Amino acid sequence: MPRFTSHFTLYSRSYCHLCEDMLAALQALAPAGHAFEVDVIDVDADPALVERFDELVPVLYGRLDEPELCHYFLDAGAVQRYLERQPA
């Protein structure tokens, strides 16, 4: 049973190999006993998101009220630091 669940938001688009790669790399980081929730948001479904993220996707956030964790490629160090800040 997982200790706790961390939440991520991944701004992505269909047919984006970098987006698929980032999601797979994020899921591979899950330590034993730690579950992830990942909301994958298709930027092409909302013109405002296209305007904001267009060429930056994939873009990964932990908390949406904090700066992005990374874009284009997973920054494992940034994700680990985010996970360390989460309550147990």
Higher pLDDT, 29 or 73: 73
Q: Are 73 and 59 in contact (CB under 8 A)?
A: no
Write out pLDDT tens, residues 31-58.
655 677 899 999 999 999 999 999 999 9
What DSSP character marks residue 84?
Answer: H
Write out pLDDT tens, residues 6-36.
889 999 999 999 999 999 999 888 765 567 7
- pLDDT at residue number 28: 87
Q: Give DSSP secondary structure letters for 15-75.
A: T-HHHHHHHHHHHHT--TTEEEEEEEEEGGG-HHHHHHHGGG-SEEESSTTS--SEESS--
* Per-residue confidence band for 1, with pLDDT thresholds at 50, 70 and 90: very low
Domains delineated in the chain: 4-85 (3.40.30.10)
